[in-house]
Amino acid sequence: MKQKLILLCLFSLIQFSLFAQNGIIIYKQKDAPIEARIKDLMSKMTLKEKILQLNQYIGGYNNNANNIAELIRTIPPEIGSLIYFDADPVWRNSIQKKAMEESRLGIPILFGFDVIHGYRTVYPVSLAQACSWNPELVTQAAAIAAKEAKLSGIDLAFSPMLDVARDGRWGRVTEGYGEDPYTNAVFGVATVKGYQGKDLSDPYSIAACLKHYVGYSRSEGGRDYHSSEISRQSLWETYLVPFEACVKAGAASVMSAFNDISGVPASANHYTLTQVLKDQWKFDGFVVSDWGALTKLIAQGVAKDKKEAGLKAFNAGVDMDMYDNIYFEYLEELLNEKKISMVKIDDAVSRVLRVKFRLGLFDNPYTEIVSEHDRYLHPESKIIAQKLAAESMVLLKNNSKTLPIKSSVKQIALIGPIAKDTANIIGGWEGHGKSADVESIYEGMVKEFGKNVVLNYAKGCDFDSTDESGFREAVLAAAKSDLILVCVGEKLRWTGENASRSTLALPAIQEKLVFELKKTGKPIVLILSNGRPIELIRLEPQVDAIVEMWQPGICGGTALAQILSGKINPSGKLSITFPLTTGQIPIYYDMRQSGEPNSGKYQDIPTDPQYWFGHGLSYTTFEYGAIKLSSEKIKKTEKLIAQVEVSNTGDVAGRETVLWYISDPACSISRPMKELKYFEKKELARGEKLVFRFEIDPERDLSYTDENGNRILESGDFYVIINNQKTKFEIIE
C-alpha cells in the first residue's frame, strides 16, 4: 500500500512538472496540490514580493475610533492583505483586479474585516450567544454573517474572539464567550464552522481569525491594553484552551494580542506563537498582529524602535503585520543584517499563500456581485437572529410568577432609556449593522401586545446624567399601569475596545429611576441591555423580575416581547458570573479550591455573587433525578457514562440545558472547584421526562494540563456534578 502511495505521489509530481514544461504554470493550476502550488509560486517570487505578502493595510473608511487610520495609502498591487471597512464589492474587485492583472505574479489580496456578531444581519453579542447554550444555532448565525461578508468583498473575519474573561470592568468581555474555557472553546468552534463551512473554498466561506492570542482578558484591573500576569499553569489551564480547540477545528488564522504575558508581549512571544501554536499544535495558517501591536512593543518597553519591534515580532512568530507597515520597511534590512532568516520569511509567506489557496482566491479572486437587497437581511436570516436573541436572554429573577405577563394586565408602563432604543441594543463591533435595522423593545411590544394592552411609554431618564426631570412623566405612566417594564442598561461604546469601566454598576440616574418607580407600588420587571455583567446589589431587591436581554442585535424587540408574553419560555443561562459588587472581582465559578472554604469571607458584603455562571430560570420547573453512573470505578482507558433523568414538572414546555461538571478533589495541583466539561440542551414538553447523558472520556475530561501543556490524568477519586448534586467515582490505573 505504501509503495502504491509513493508511486502515486511521484506520478502526480511528474505529471505536474510535465504541465510546467508545457507552459501551464503550476501555481495557476487549480487542480494541482496546494503545497505544490505554494512551492512553485514561492520559487518565482522576489524578496520584495514576499515581504509585501506579510503586510496588511487598510482600504475604505475606518469606523473604529481606537484605530484612527491615516489616509488610504496608495495600495501596491502586491499587498498581501487589506482591512476593508466599506461594503462595496465593485470597489473591492477593482483593487483585486489591480493585484491580479497589474502585479507580476497575480497574487490575490486577502480582504479582512471585523465580522464579530454578524455583518449586516447583526445577532447578539458573543457573551450573550454563549448564554443560549445552542452552538448549532450560533453556527447558523455565523454562516449568515459569512455569506453577507463574502458578498461584500470580505475573505477573512477577525473573529471568533476567544478571550476567557472574568473581569467585567474590561470592556471587551462582551466580545468573547464568558468566563469558562470550555464554553469559549465550544462556541469558538461553532463560529469557525459557520464561517469556514465544509471547505474554505466554498463560495460563501470566509477564513476565521482566532483572537486575541493570548491572555488579553487578564488585562490588569480590567484596564484595556494593560499587562496580563498569567502563570504558565493558568495559560494552559484557562487561556489557551479555546485556541487549541479552534486550531484543531481548522481555523485559518490567528491574531496576536496587545497585552504582555507576564512581561513578554503576546506579539513578541516565541513560546506562545511558535513553540505552542506552530510547533506543538502544528498550526499551518498564518498569524497576523493586532492593529498596531508591533508599534506597541516600543511603549511596552521591549523594543527601542520600530525596527527592533519588527525583529522581535517576526522572530517570535508573527507572520503578517497589521497596519504598522514595519515589515514592509525593515524586513529586508533585517535579513541583510542576518537578524532574521530567509527560511522564516519563506515560512511566513507560505502560510499566507496557503490560506489564500485554501480560500480558492487564486482561482476565484472576485466577489460575486449581487444587489444590496439580495445581499443582506434576508427574512430567514432575521429569523435565525431573532431565535438566537431569544435563546440568549436570561430570566434572572421571577418572584411570584410575575412573568409571563398575565392577561389581566391591560396597561403596561414601558419606561427607561432602552425602551425605544435602537442605537445601542445592537451591540458593539456592529460591523455594517445599522440602527435603522434594529427593532426596539417598544416595537416588539406593540407587535406582541398592541391589540390587547395599552403601552404607556416614558423615557424617564437618559443613560447617564443628573437630569431627573423625566421621572415625573415616568411615575405618571406607571401610576396608570398594571405593570412596569423598566428598561435600563449600557450604551454601545461602554463595552468593546478601550471601554474599561471602574464599576459594573449602572449610572446612578438609572438606579434612581427604578427607586422612584418602586414607590408606585406596582409590580416591576427590570429589563437589562448591557454588554458586561451588571452590579445589581441595589436594584435586585427593588424589582419582582429581571430579564437579561443583553445586546441582542437587530432582532431583540420581538424576541423579548415573546418572552414577556410567554410565547417563548426563556432558556438562557449565564455564561459569566454577575458579581454582587465590583469589589468581588475576580469571582468566577471555576476558581481554585480554597484552603479555608468556610472562611476568608468579606466582612462587609456576602461572598457569593449575585448570580453564578450557569444561572437562568424558566417559566416551568425541571426536576433532576439522581445521577446514575455506568460504573463506580473505571480504568483510565475506559469510558464512564453519567446520566440523569430530568422531568418537566411545571405547566409549560421548556428547554433545559444540563451543565455537566467534574471535580478532582485530590490532585498533584490544586484544581478548580469544578470544571464544565459537557452540556446538552433539550426541549421537554409539560410532564415529559428525558435522560441526559455525558460519556466521560477520562483522558479528555478528567486530565489537567500542566505548565508545559502536557495532559496529565491521575488515578483517584473524581466527582461528576450537575446542579446541586455530585456523585463520586474512581479512576484506577
**Binding interface with ligand GLC (CB under 6 A):** 64, 66-67, 83, 114, 158, 211, 290-291, 497
Task: Judge whether 152 and 159 are in contact, CB under 8 Å.
Answer: no
**Sequence-ordered list of residues with C-beta below 8 angstroms from that of 531, at least 6 positions apart, any chain:** 125, 127, 171, 173, 174, 427, 428, 490, 494, 495, 496, 550, 551
How much is the CA Rg of the chain, to the nearest whole Å?
A: 27
Residue 245 CB, shortest distance to ligand GLC, in Å, is: 19
Closer CB to ligand GLC, residue 277 or residue 418?
277
**Sequence-ordered list of residues with C-beta below 8 angstroms from that of 226, at least 6 positions apart, any chain:** 219, 220, 259
Task: Judge whether 473 and 592 are in contact, CB under 8 Å.
Answer: no
Residue 447 CB, shortest distance to ligand GLC, in Å, is: 35
Closer CB to ligand GLC, residue 147 or residue 211?
211
Task: Judge whether 496 and 428 are in contact, CB under 8 Å.
Answer: yes
Residue 244 CB, shortest distance to ligand GLC, in Å, is: 20
- Angle among Cα 256, 261, 264 to the nearest 5 degrees reads 85
Residue 277 CB, shortest distance to ligand GLC, in Å, is: 18
In the numeric block, which cell numbers belong to residue 707?
Answer: 505548565
Residue 618 CB, shortest distance to ligand GLC, in Å, is: 35
DSSP code per residue over 71-120: SPP---TT-SEEEE-S--HHHHHHHHHIIIIISSS-PPPEEEE--SS-SS
Choose among 43, 15, 47: nearest CA to 29.
15
Residue 218 CB, shortest distance to ligand GLC, in Å, is: 15
| Residues carrying an active site annotation | 290
Closer CB to ligand GLC, residue 213 or residue 622?
213
Closer CB to ligand GLC, residue 267 or residue 610?
267
Residue 127 CB, shortest distance to ligand GLC, in Å, is: 15
**b/e string for 357-371 if b means 16 or more Cβ within 10 A?**
bbbbbbeebbbeeee
Closer CB to ligand GLC, residue 497 or residue 544?
497
Closer CB to ligand GLC, residue 67 or residue 647?
67
Give dist(CA 266, CA 276) in Å, integer.
12
Give dist(CA 690, CA 1) in Å, integer.
48
User: CA dihedral defined by 351, 356, 358, 359, rounded to 10 degrees?
Assistant: 140
Closer CB to ligand GLC, residue 67 or residue 593?
67
Give dist(CA 87, CA 199) in Å, integer.
24
Give dist(CA 279, CA 38) in Å, integer.
20
Choose among 347, 375, 369, 362: nearest CA to 285.
347
Task: Judge whether 433 and 117 are in contact, CB under 8 Å.
Answer: no
- Angle among Cα 705, 130, 66 to the nearest 5 degrees reads 90
Closer CB to ligand GLC, residue 328 or residue 704?
328
Closer CB to ligand GLC, residue 288 or residue 676?
288
Residue 204 CB, shortest distance to ligand GLC, in Å, is: 21
724 φ, ψ to 5°?
A: -115, 25
Place of cell 527592533: 308
**Sequence-ordered list of residues with C-beta below 8 angstroms from that of 290, at least 6 positions apart, any chain:** 211, 212, 255, 256, 257, 258, 267, 322
Task: Judge whether 291 and 209 are in contact, CB under 8 Å.
Answer: no
Q: State the amino acid at position 613 in one-letter form.
A: F
Task: Give, in order, the Cα–Cα distances in Å from 105 to each of 102, 627, 733.
Answer: 9, 63, 59
Give dist(CA 447, CA 716) in Å, integer.
58
Closer CB to ligand GLC, residue 161 or residue 419?
161
Residue 282 CB, shortest distance to ligand GLC, in Å, is: 25
Give dist(CA 169, CA 260) in Å, integer.
19
Task: Judge whether 196 and 246 are in contact, CB under 8 Å.
Answer: no
In the numeric block, which cell numbers belong to residue 339?
Answer: 537578524
Residue 559 CB, shortest distance to ligand GLC, in Å, is: 27
Residue 215 CB, shortest distance to ligand GLC, in Å, is: 14
Closer CB to ligand GLC, residue 111 or residue 357?
111
User: CA dihedral defined by 586, 590, 594, 597, rounded to 10 degrees?
Assistant: 100
Task: Judge whether 415 and 478 are in contact, CB under 8 Å.
Answer: yes
Closer CB to ligand GLC, residue 158 or residue 471?
158
In the numeric block, which cell numbers belong to residue 627?
Answer: 445521577
Give dist(CA 584, CA 117) in Å, integer.
29
Closer CB to ligand GLC, residue 79 or residue 574?
79
Q: Hey, is 659 helix, strand or coil?
A: strand
Residue 58 CB, shortest distance to ligand GLC, in Å, is: 9
Residue 497 CB, shortest distance to ligand GLC, in Å, is: 5
Give dist(CA 268, CA 312) in Å, integer.
6
